[in-house]
Amino acid sequence: MDVFSRISQQLGIVEVIDRDGAVFISGQEYCPLNNKSEKDAKTGESTLAGLLYGVTLNPELLSDVHSRVFFTYRTQFSPIRRDEDGPSPINFTLFFRDNPINTLENALTDPDSFYSDIGWGCMIRTGQSLLANAIQRVKLTRKFRINSTRIDDDEFDLISWFQDDINHPFSLHNFVETERKTSGMKPGQWFGPSATARSIKTLVAGFPSCGIDSCIISTQSADIYEDQVTEIFTANQHANVLLLFAIRLGVDLINSIYWKDILKIISSRYSVGIAGGKPSSSLYFFGHQNENLLYFDPHSSQQSSSDMDALTYYQSCHGHKFNKLHISETDPSMLIGILISGISEWESFKDNFADNQIIQFLETKLDDALYQNFDLSIGSDSMHSIESDIPDTGDYVDVGILVSGKQMSSPQPKDEEFEDVKCKSQRIIICEDPAEPEVEQVLVEDSSSQ
């Protein structure tokens, strides 16, 4: 990475964003501006990107990006009590990433409570961002644009639902509490895509005023069961349905056969973003330019909303610093968000994604009774592979060549802990740590039918 790239990343400016090609954000396309504006040429005024590269950022693009809602780490929020056998709230890194006086005071006066989510809450924050942008679209439409000098009362109402207090429906506190009840996850533990999807589904169901009528999640694939969706639209043809897919598209990196489909999903008008990123470091992806995903980074910390006036809090929940990451550098685990508003959108969505290798439309879900003879508990023999005669030789499986004998764009290094597998109509489950309750599956293709 050159020096200009490093400077721009530190300042939250996307380098050469406007000269590398069109930018796509949830159904909107923004063409590049390759020259300085007439005003800049006369006055010499420009952004740092303009000074470095002689380009001007597209104002319509910036307005769209700035209008997206996103959330970051917060400090000094109302306390979350630790579990007796859960992680400790006392974290040495807090002294560097939070006010050290506040950190020391919390450690001395209430060492058994979390006052910040620094170091463990990034996936919750990106999940909140995904959900907030879905609600924004339902309540205010895709055309909504923020005026940064004043508060939009309608949008402020929905943003306030995410404030860090148990009394707000989509707070970090309620994400933590919901998953504690569902899976036994403890405060301070890092959420994965599946845990985030489960929390969103539960919280949306408990707060119908958000405007999302139904939330359908898949924590093993991106399969959509048409009878399930049809039932919703039969009851209400104008229903707003949020689809959440917690999936894994590779072992260490996203398999290159899925790149085109990921870009198509995030650029479509149905997308409300992707919560993904790098291992143990979640980012909120909201668009792309060429093969680069545009993202907000939740890892910068801000004060609790209780320490801010209304306008400052409102502004703190909108993105103005963003960057890009090449899709080849992205972790394969992610949470994809799709919003379908009404039966007509559902029909067009099916037509647009009929040939997508990630999203699959199935008539109905198989009866769970088909799997009653399999023990799917963690560590069981059936857990490793269903309907497969591949021997279990380790904790990890490298699916290798997946489609039509085509290799990945960058060859994977051979590792004695991995085994190349020929995939044929089988469900392969990747279990990184048998002690972990969250299990992820890798999407594979049936190469024999090609």
Report how many domains make up the chain: 3
Question: Which positions ≥6 away from 76 have C-beta within 8 Å?
Answer: 102, 115, 116, 303, 304, 306, 307
> Which helix (H) or strand (E) covers residue 140, if one does?
helix 122-140
pTM given for the model: 0.77
Domain limits at 441?
Answer: 368-450
- Regarding whether 393 and 306 lie in a shared domain, the answer is no
Question: Which amino acid would we find at residue 217?
Answer: I
Residue finishing a domain among 65, 82, 113: 65
- Regarding whether 350 and 265 lie in a shared domain, the answer is yes
Q: How many CB atoms lie within 10 A of CB 398?
A: 19
| Rounded Cα distance, 401 and 419, in Å | 12
Per DSSP (E only), the strands in 108-267 are 113-116, 214-218, 223-225, 240-248
Q: Cite the active site residues.
A: 122, 297, 299
- Regarding whether 158 and 74 lie in a shared domain, the answer is yes
117: closest CA among 69, 189, 180, 182?
Answer: 189
Rg (CA), the chain: 23
Residue finishing a domain among 65, 81, 111: 65
| Rounded Cα distance, 3 and 244, in Å | 38
Residue finishing a domain among 346, 362, 378: 362
Query: Tens place of pLDDT for every residue, the chain, 450 residues?
Result: 444 444 444 444 454 465 668 999 999 999 887 644 444 434 433 344 444 344 467 889 999 999 999 999 999 899 999 998 999 887 766 655 666 666 666 666 778 899 999 989 999 999 999 999 999 999 999 999 998 789 999 999 999 999 999 999 999 999 999 999 999 999 999 999 999 999 999 999 999 999 999 999 998 889 999 999 999 999 999 999 999 999 999 999 999 999 999 999 999 999 999 999 987 799 999 999 999 999 999 999 899 998 899 999 999 999 778 999 999 999 999 999 999 999 999 999 999 999 999 999 999 987 655 545 544 443 444 333 333 333 333 333 333 333 334 444 444 444 333 333 333 333 444 444 444 445 445 555 544 444
Q: To 10 degrees, the CA torsion angle through 197, 200, 202, 207?
A: -160
Burial zone of 51 (CB within 10 Å; 0-12 exposed, 13-18 middle, 19+ buried) = exposed
3-state percent breakdown (helix, strand, coil) of the chain, nearest 5? 35, 20, 45
- Regarding whether 145 and 37 lie in a shared domain, the answer is no
